Protein backbone atom coordinates (compact mmCIF):
# COMPACT_ATOMS: atom_id res chain seq x y z
CA UNK A 1 0.00 0.00 0.00
CA UNK A 2 1.05 3.58 -0.56
CA UNK A 3 2.75 5.38 2.31
CA UNK A 4 1.40 8.57 3.81
CA UNK A 5 3.67 11.62 4.27
CA UNK A 6 3.03 13.96 7.18
CA UNK A 7 4.73 17.38 7.12
CA UNK A 8 5.74 18.60 10.58
CA UNK A 9 5.90 22.22 11.75
CA UNK A 10 8.95 24.35 10.98
CA UNK A 11 11.33 24.73 13.87
CA UNK A 12 13.86 27.59 14.32
CA UNK A 13 16.82 27.26 16.67
CA UNK A 14 17.45 30.13 19.09
CA UNK A 15 21.12 30.51 20.26
CA UNK A 16 21.18 30.73 24.05
CA UNK A 17 23.83 30.37 26.71
CA UNK A 18 25.33 26.99 27.48
CA UNK A 19 24.33 27.12 31.14
CA UNK A 20 20.72 27.77 30.20
CA UNK A 21 20.70 24.87 27.79
CA UNK A 22 22.14 22.58 30.40
CA UNK A 23 19.35 23.41 32.88
CA UNK A 24 16.53 23.21 30.33
CA UNK A 25 14.22 20.20 30.32
CA UNK A 26 12.79 18.66 27.21
CA UNK A 27 9.02 18.42 26.95
CA UNK A 28 8.94 16.42 23.77
CA UNK A 29 6.00 14.04 23.53
CA UNK A 30 6.51 12.56 20.11
CA UNK A 31 6.36 8.77 20.18
CA UNK A 32 4.95 5.89 18.30
CA UNK A 33 3.06 2.80 19.40
CA UNK A 34 3.06 -0.54 17.67
CA UNK A 35 -0.09 -1.65 15.94
CA UNK A 36 -2.62 -3.25 18.25
CA UNK A 37 -2.93 -7.02 17.95
CA UNK A 38 -6.21 -6.81 16.13
CA UNK A 39 -4.56 -4.93 13.28
CA UNK A 40 -1.41 -7.07 13.27
CA UNK A 41 -2.59 -9.08 10.32
CA UNK A 42 -2.89 -5.93 8.22
CA UNK A 43 0.55 -4.48 9.19
CA UNK A 44 3.85 -5.38 7.56
CA UNK A 45 6.01 -2.59 9.02
CA UNK A 46 7.47 -2.12 12.50
CA UNK A 47 9.80 0.91 11.93
CA UNK A 48 9.36 4.61 11.39
CA UNK A 49 11.91 6.65 9.38
CA UNK A 50 12.53 10.40 9.58
CA UNK A 51 14.19 12.57 6.96
CA UNK A 52 15.55 15.87 8.37
CA UNK A 53 16.26 18.78 6.03
CA UNK A 54 18.22 21.76 7.40
CA UNK A 55 18.57 25.14 5.69
CA UNK A 56 19.56 28.70 6.68
CA UNK A 57 16.01 29.83 7.46
CA UNK A 58 15.03 27.09 9.87
CA UNK A 59 14.62 23.35 10.33
CA UNK A 60 11.96 21.46 8.43
CA UNK A 61 11.15 17.88 9.34
CA UNK A 62 9.47 15.32 7.10
CA UNK A 63 8.08 12.18 8.70
CA UNK A 64 7.38 9.18 6.49
CA UNK A 65 4.75 7.03 8.22
CA UNK A 66 3.80 3.64 6.85
CA UNK A 67 0.33 2.28 7.09
CA UNK A 68 -0.10 0.04 10.08
CA UNK A 69 1.55 2.35 12.63
CA UNK A 70 -0.33 4.65 14.94
CA UNK A 71 1.54 7.89 15.66
CA UNK A 72 0.49 10.10 18.51
CA UNK A 73 1.79 13.54 17.52
CA UNK A 74 1.14 16.62 19.57
CA UNK A 75 2.61 20.10 19.47
CA UNK A 76 5.97 20.00 21.29
CA UNK A 77 8.44 22.64 22.40
CA UNK A 78 11.99 22.00 23.62
CA UNK A 79 12.49 24.69 26.20
CA UNK A 80 15.35 27.10 25.42
CA UNK A 81 16.25 25.30 22.20
CA UNK A 82 13.45 25.42 19.63
CA UNK A 83 10.27 27.39 19.08
CA UNK A 84 7.42 26.99 16.60
CA UNK A 85 6.99 29.70 14.02
CA UNK A 86 4.76 30.59 11.17
CA UNK A 87 6.29 30.81 7.71
CA UNK A 88 5.52 34.51 7.39
CA UNK A 89 7.04 35.56 10.75
CA UNK A 90 10.59 36.60 11.58
CA UNK A 91 11.93 34.27 14.25
CA UNK A 92 13.78 35.40 17.35
CA UNK A 93 16.60 33.05 16.41
CA UNK A 94 17.30 34.96 13.21
CA UNK A 95 17.34 38.23 15.15
CA UNK A 96 19.75 36.76 17.70
CA UNK A 97 21.99 35.47 14.94
CA UNK A 98 22.11 38.94 13.38
CA UNK A 99 23.08 40.44 16.74
CA UNK A 100 25.85 37.88 17.20
CA UNK A 101 27.14 38.55 13.69
CA UNK A 102 27.19 42.30 14.35
CA UNK A 103 29.13 41.74 17.57
CA UNK A 104 31.63 39.46 15.86
CA UNK A 105 32.03 41.96 13.02
CA UNK A 106 32.70 44.86 15.40
CA UNK A 107 35.15 42.71 17.36
CA UNK A 108 36.93 41.72 14.16
CA UNK A 109 37.20 45.35 13.09
CA UNK A 110 38.71 46.21 16.46
CA UNK A 111 41.30 43.45 16.12
CA UNK A 112 42.16 44.63 12.61
CA UNK A 113 42.66 48.19 13.86
CA UNK A 114 44.92 47.01 16.67
CA UNK A 115 46.93 44.84 14.27
CA UNK A 116 47.26 47.75 11.84
CA UNK A 117 48.47 50.06 14.60
CA UNK A 118 50.98 47.49 15.79
CA UNK A 119 52.39 46.98 12.29
CA UNK A 120 52.55 50.74 11.69
CA UNK A 121 54.43 51.28 14.94
CA UNK A 122 56.82 48.44 14.14
CA UNK A 123 57.44 49.82 10.64
CA UNK A 124 58.09 53.32 12.02
CA UNK A 125 60.52 51.95 14.57
CA UNK A 126 62.19 49.85 11.90
CA UNK A 127 62.70 52.85 9.60
CA UNK A 128 64.04 55.11 12.36
CA UNK A 129 66.56 52.59 13.67
CA UNK A 130 67.48 51.55 10.12
CA UNK A 131 68.35 55.11 9.15
CA UNK A 132 70.35 55.55 12.36
CA UNK A 133 72.29 52.36 11.73
CA UNK A 134 72.94 53.40 8.12
CA UNK A 135 74.40 56.76 9.14
CA UNK A 136 76.54 55.12 11.83
CA UNK A 137 77.84 52.42 9.49
CA UNK A 138 78.64 55.02 6.82
CA UNK A 139 80.72 57.05 9.28
CA UNK A 140 82.54 53.95 10.52
CA UNK A 141 83.37 52.82 6.98
CA UNK A 142 84.74 56.24 6.08
CA UNK A 143 86.87 56.34 9.24
CA UNK A 144 88.46 52.97 8.51
CA UNK A 145 91.43 51.39 10.30
CA UNK A 146 90.94 50.92 14.06
CA UNK A 147 87.55 52.62 14.21
CA UNK A 148 86.16 50.27 11.58
CA UNK A 149 87.87 47.23 13.12
CA UNK A 150 86.71 47.89 16.69
CA UNK A 151 83.12 48.45 15.54
CA UNK A 152 83.25 45.23 13.53
CA UNK A 153 84.64 43.34 16.54
CA UNK A 154 81.76 44.54 18.72
CA UNK A 155 79.23 43.38 16.11
CA UNK A 156 81.05 40.03 15.81
CA UNK A 157 80.92 39.49 19.57
CA UNK A 158 77.16 40.19 19.71
CA UNK A 159 76.53 37.97 16.67
CA UNK A 160 78.56 35.08 18.07
CA UNK A 161 76.64 35.23 21.35
CA UNK A 162 73.37 35.03 19.41
CA UNK A 163 74.69 32.12 17.36
CA UNK A 164 75.62 30.00 20.38
CA UNK A 165 72.29 30.82 22.01
CA UNK A 166 70.58 29.47 18.88
CA UNK A 167 72.71 26.33 19.08
CA UNK A 168 71.58 25.85 22.68
CA UNK A 169 67.91 26.44 21.86
CA UNK A 170 65.36 23.70 22.29
CA UNK A 171 64.87 23.17 18.56
CA UNK A 172 68.53 22.42 17.79
CA UNK A 173 69.62 20.99 21.13
CA UNK A 174 66.88 18.35 21.02
CA UNK A 175 68.71 16.55 18.21
CA UNK A 176 72.31 17.14 19.29
CA UNK A 177 74.52 17.94 22.26
CA UNK A 178 75.42 21.67 22.38
CA UNK A 179 78.91 22.75 23.50
CA UNK A 180 79.44 23.65 27.16
CA UNK A 181 78.83 27.25 28.13
CA UNK A 182 82.46 27.98 28.93
CA UNK A 183 83.44 26.83 25.43
CA UNK A 184 80.76 28.97 23.74
CA UNK A 185 81.79 32.01 25.76
CA UNK A 186 85.45 31.45 24.94
CA UNK A 187 84.56 31.14 21.25
CA UNK A 188 82.67 34.45 21.38
CA UNK A 189 85.77 36.16 22.75
CA UNK A 190 87.99 34.51 20.14
CA UNK A 191 85.65 35.61 17.33
CA UNK A 192 85.75 39.15 18.71
CA UNK A 193 89.56 39.17 18.69
CA UNK A 194 89.93 37.80 15.15
CA UNK A 195 89.26 41.12 13.32
CA UNK A 196 91.74 42.90 15.60
CA UNK A 197 94.43 40.29 14.87
CA UNK A 198 93.66 40.55 11.17
CA UNK A 199 94.31 44.29 11.20
CA UNK A 200 97.45 43.96 13.32
CA UNK A 201 99.08 41.05 11.47
CA UNK A 202 97.57 41.69 8.03
CA UNK A 203 96.34 38.10 7.69
CA UNK A 204 94.09 35.71 9.58
CA UNK A 205 95.31 32.17 8.99
CA UNK A 206 97.44 31.84 12.14
CA UNK A 207 94.71 33.15 14.46
CA UNK A 208 92.07 30.80 13.04
CA UNK A 209 94.34 27.75 13.29
CA UNK A 210 95.31 28.57 16.87
CA UNK A 211 91.69 29.17 17.87
CA UNK A 212 90.53 25.89 16.33
CA UNK A 213 93.28 23.97 18.14
CA UNK A 214 92.41 25.58 21.49
CA UNK A 215 88.68 24.89 21.16
CA UNK A 216 89.16 21.28 20.02
CA UNK A 217 91.49 20.62 22.97
CA UNK A 218 89.00 22.13 25.45
CA UNK A 219 86.17 19.98 24.10
CA UNK A 220 88.17 16.75 24.11
CA UNK A 221 89.40 17.26 27.68
CA UNK A 222 86.05 18.21 29.18
CA UNK A 223 84.39 16.09 31.82
CA UNK A 224 81.88 13.56 30.64
CA UNK A 225 81.56 12.17 27.15
CA UNK A 226 82.60 14.58 24.34
CA UNK A 227 80.33 14.51 21.30
CA UNK A 228 81.08 15.21 17.66
CA UNK A 229 78.09 17.57 17.48
CA UNK A 230 79.80 19.80 20.05
CA UNK A 231 82.93 19.99 17.95
CA UNK A 232 81.12 20.57 14.65
CA UNK A 233 78.80 23.33 15.95
CA UNK A 234 81.72 25.09 17.67
CA UNK A 235 84.00 24.96 14.63
CA UNK A 236 81.25 26.27 12.41
CA UNK A 237 80.71 29.08 14.91
CA UNK A 238 84.39 30.09 14.64
CA UNK A 239 84.15 30.01 10.85
CA UNK A 240 80.74 31.71 10.58
CA UNK A 241 81.07 34.37 13.28
CA UNK A 242 84.83 35.05 13.35
CA UNK A 243 86.71 34.01 10.23
CA UNK A 244 84.31 35.23 7.54
CA UNK A 245 83.61 38.72 9.02
CA UNK A 246 87.37 39.32 9.32
CA UNK A 247 87.57 39.55 5.52
CA UNK A 248 85.82 42.93 5.76
CA UNK A 249 88.93 44.19 7.58
CA UNK A 250 91.12 42.80 4.81
CA UNK A 251 88.85 44.41 2.21
CA UNK A 252 88.51 47.86 3.83
CA UNK A 253 91.94 48.24 5.43
CA UNK A 254 94.13 45.83 3.49
CA UNK A 255 93.55 47.13 -0.07
CA UNK A 256 95.26 50.49 0.44
CA UNK A 257 96.01 51.32 -3.21
CA UNK A 258 94.65 54.85 -3.97
CA UNK A 259 92.00 55.35 -6.63
CA UNK A 260 93.28 58.54 -8.21
CA UNK A 261 90.61 58.58 -10.91
CA UNK A 262 87.76 59.40 -8.57
CA UNK A 263 86.62 63.03 -8.42
CA UNK A 264 86.30 62.93 -4.62
CA UNK A 265 90.05 62.43 -4.12
CA UNK A 266 91.08 65.86 -5.42
CA UNK A 267 88.54 67.87 -3.39
CA UNK A 268 88.49 65.86 -0.17
CA UNK A 269 89.65 67.88 2.91
CA UNK A 270 93.13 67.17 4.17
CA UNK A 271 91.91 66.97 7.77
CA UNK A 272 89.69 64.02 6.81
CA UNK A 273 92.51 62.10 5.14
CA UNK A 274 93.00 63.93 1.86
CA UNK A 275 93.17 62.19 -1.46
CA UNK A 276 94.93 59.15 0.04
CA UNK A 277 91.77 58.26 1.94
CA UNK A 278 89.92 57.13 -1.19
CA UNK A 279 91.50 53.73 -1.58
CA UNK A 280 90.44 50.63 -3.46
CA UNK A 281 89.35 49.11 -0.17
CA UNK A 282 87.05 52.04 0.61
CA UNK A 283 85.51 52.00 -2.88
CA UNK A 284 84.96 48.25 -2.81
CA UNK A 285 83.44 48.38 0.69
CA UNK A 286 81.05 51.24 -0.12
CA UNK A 287 79.88 49.65 -3.38
CA UNK A 288 79.50 46.21 -1.80
CA UNK A 289 77.48 47.44 1.20
CA UNK A 290 75.31 49.72 -0.96
CA UNK A 291 74.57 46.98 -3.50
CA UNK A 292 73.61 44.55 -0.71
CA UNK A 293 71.20 47.11 0.75
CA UNK A 294 69.73 47.63 -2.73
CA UNK A 295 69.42 43.87 -3.24
CA UNK A 296 67.49 43.40 0.01
CA UNK A 297 65.25 46.39 -0.67
CA UNK A 298 64.40 45.51 -4.25
CA UNK A 299 63.91 41.84 -3.40
CA UNK A 300 61.42 42.79 -0.68
CA UNK A 301 59.49 45.15 -2.98
CA UNK A 302 59.55 42.71 -5.89
CA UNK A 303 58.42 39.84 -3.70
CA UNK A 304 55.48 41.85 -2.35
CA UNK A 305 54.42 43.02 -5.81
CA UNK A 306 55.13 40.02 -8.05
CA UNK A 307 56.07 37.12 -5.76
CA UNK A 308 54.31 33.88 -6.69
CA UNK A 309 56.90 31.08 -6.89
CA UNK A 310 58.67 30.07 -3.63
CA UNK A 311 62.43 30.15 -3.87
CA UNK A 312 63.28 27.48 -1.28
CA UNK A 313 61.73 25.70 1.67
CA UNK A 314 64.35 27.19 4.00
CA UNK A 315 62.67 30.61 3.74
CA UNK A 316 59.10 30.23 2.39
CA UNK A 317 58.54 34.00 2.08
CA UNK A 318 61.32 34.40 -0.50
CA UNK A 319 60.24 34.03 -4.13
CA UNK A 320 61.98 33.71 -7.47
CA UNK A 321 60.35 36.90 -8.67
CA UNK A 322 61.66 38.84 -5.67
CA UNK A 323 65.14 37.35 -6.13
CA UNK A 324 65.26 38.42 -9.80
CA UNK A 325 64.15 41.96 -8.94
CA UNK A 326 66.78 42.05 -6.16
CA UNK A 327 69.46 40.88 -8.59
CA UNK A 328 68.56 43.65 -11.01
CA UNK A 329 68.63 46.28 -8.27
CA UNK A 330 71.99 45.03 -6.97
CA UNK A 331 73.66 45.09 -10.39
CA UNK A 332 72.17 48.49 -11.24
CA UNK A 333 73.42 50.01 -7.99
CA UNK A 334 76.88 48.55 -8.50
CA UNK A 335 77.13 49.97 -12.03
CA UNK A 336 75.83 53.43 -11.03
CA UNK A 337 78.25 53.73 -8.11
CA UNK A 338 81.09 52.52 -10.33
CA UNK A 339 80.32 55.42 -12.69
CA UNK A 340 80.21 57.89 -9.80
CA UNK A 341 83.40 56.70 -8.09
CA UNK A 342 85.19 55.81 -11.34
CA UNK A 343 85.98 52.39 -9.86
CA UNK A 344 86.17 49.83 -11.27
CA UNK A 345 86.88 51.36 -14.64
CA UNK A 346 85.30 48.48 -16.57
CA UNK A 347 81.50 48.26 -16.72
CA UNK A 348 81.72 44.50 -17.10
CA UNK A 349 83.71 44.31 -13.86
CA UNK A 350 81.05 46.38 -12.10
CA UNK A 351 78.31 44.03 -13.36
CA UNK A 352 80.28 40.97 -12.19
CA UNK A 353 80.92 42.64 -8.82
CA UNK A 354 77.20 43.31 -8.33
CA UNK A 355 76.34 39.76 -9.40
CA UNK A 356 78.78 38.35 -6.84
CA UNK A 357 77.51 40.61 -4.06
CA UNK A 358 73.94 39.51 -4.66
CA UNK A 359 74.62 35.78 -4.45
CA UNK A 360 76.84 36.24 -1.42
CA UNK A 361 74.09 38.16 0.38
CA UNK A 362 71.40 35.65 -0.65
CA UNK A 363 73.46 32.69 0.52
CA UNK A 364 74.18 34.36 3.86
CA UNK A 365 70.51 35.20 4.36
CA UNK A 366 69.40 31.64 3.63
CA UNK A 367 72.06 30.18 5.92
CA UNK A 368 70.87 32.25 8.85
CA UNK A 369 67.25 31.38 8.02
CA UNK A 370 68.13 27.68 8.15
CA UNK A 371 69.71 28.10 11.59
CA UNK A 372 66.69 29.99 12.92
CA UNK A 373 64.26 27.46 11.42
CA UNK A 374 66.01 24.56 13.17
CA UNK A 375 66.11 26.59 16.39
CA UNK A 376 62.38 27.29 16.10
CA UNK A 377 62.66 31.07 16.49
CA UNK A 378 61.66 34.02 14.33
CA UNK A 379 64.53 36.37 15.24
CA UNK A 380 68.04 35.61 16.41
CA UNK A 381 67.68 38.14 19.24
CA UNK A 382 66.16 41.45 20.30
CA UNK A 383 69.19 43.73 20.34
CA UNK A 384 67.91 46.14 17.66
CA UNK A 385 64.31 47.37 18.17
CA UNK A 386 62.19 46.60 15.12
CA UNK A 387 64.96 44.56 13.48
CA UNK A 388 65.56 41.62 15.82
CA UNK A 389 69.10 40.51 16.58
CA UNK A 390 72.43 41.51 15.11
CA UNK A 391 72.53 38.35 12.98
CA UNK A 392 69.20 39.32 11.43
CA UNK A 393 70.82 42.52 10.11
CA UNK A 394 74.29 41.31 9.10
CA UNK A 395 73.47 37.85 7.73
CA UNK A 396 73.71 39.15 4.16
CA UNK A 397 77.23 40.51 4.80
CA UNK A 398 78.87 37.46 6.39
CA UNK A 399 79.89 35.67 3.19
CA UNK A 400 80.02 38.78 0.98
CA UNK A 401 83.20 40.25 2.50
CA UNK A 402 85.27 37.15 1.64
CA UNK A 403 83.84 36.97 -1.90
CA UNK A 404 84.38 40.70 -2.55
CA UNK A 405 87.98 40.60 -1.28
CA UNK A 406 88.83 37.56 -3.39
CA UNK A 407 87.21 39.10 -6.47
CA UNK A 408 89.04 42.44 -6.20
CA UNK A 409 92.43 40.99 -5.34
CA UNK A 410 92.38 38.00 -7.68
CA UNK A 411 90.21 38.79 -10.69
CA UNK A 412 90.49 42.55 -11.18
CA UNK A 413 93.72 43.55 -12.94
CA UNK A 414 95.53 46.28 -10.96
CA UNK A 415 92.67 46.17 -8.46
CA UNK A 416 90.29 47.68 -10.99
CA UNK A 417 92.11 51.04 -11.19
Is the Cβ–Cβ distance between 312 and 366 less than 8 Å?
yes
pLDDT of the residue at 47? 46
Which residues lie below 8 Å from residue 280, measured CB to CB, with a gap of 6+?
Answer: 255, 256, 257, 258, 259, 343, 408, 415, 416, 417
Per residue in 85-130, pLDDT (tens digit) is: 444 444 445 545 555 566 555 555 566 777 777 777 767 776 777 7
Sign of CA dihedral 269, 272, 275, 280: negative
Residue 330 confidence (pLDDT): 96
Which residue ranges of the chain lie beneath pLDDT 50? Answer: 1-35, 37-48, 50-92, 95
- Distance between alpha carbon 166 and the CA centroid of its chain, in Å? 15
Helix or strand holding residue 390 (H, E): helix 390-394
Strand (E) or helix (H) holding 181: helix 181-201
* Cis ω before 344 (30° cut-off from 0): yes
pLDDT given for residue 4 in this prediction: 47
Burial 333-346 (b: 16+ CB within 10 A, else e): bbbbbbeebbbbee
- pLDDT of 347 reads 92
Among 169, 189, 233, 244, residue whose Cα is nearest residue 396: 244
Q: How far apart are CA 11 and CA 127, in angstroms?
A: 59
pLDDT at position 342 is 87
The answer to whether 363 and 295 have CB atoms below 8 angstroms apart is no
Q: Structure pTM?
A: 0.70
Res 97: pLDDT:
58
- Distance of alpha carbon 352 from its chain centroid, rounded? 30
Which residues fall within 8 angstroms of residue 154, CB to CB, at 6 or more apart?
192
Amino acid sequence: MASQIVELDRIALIPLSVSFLCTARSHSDFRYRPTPPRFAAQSNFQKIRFNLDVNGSGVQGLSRIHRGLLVNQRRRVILGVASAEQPDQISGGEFANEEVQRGNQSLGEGDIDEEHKRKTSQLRKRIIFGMGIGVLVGGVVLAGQWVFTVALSAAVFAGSREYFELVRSRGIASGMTPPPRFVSRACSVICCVMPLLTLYFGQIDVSVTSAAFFVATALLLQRGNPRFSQLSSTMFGLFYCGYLPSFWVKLRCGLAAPTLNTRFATSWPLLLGGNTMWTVGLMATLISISSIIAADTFAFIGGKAFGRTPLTAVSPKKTWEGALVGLGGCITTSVLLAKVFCWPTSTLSAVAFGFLNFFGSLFGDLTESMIKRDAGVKDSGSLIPGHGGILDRVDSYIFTGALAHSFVKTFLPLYGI
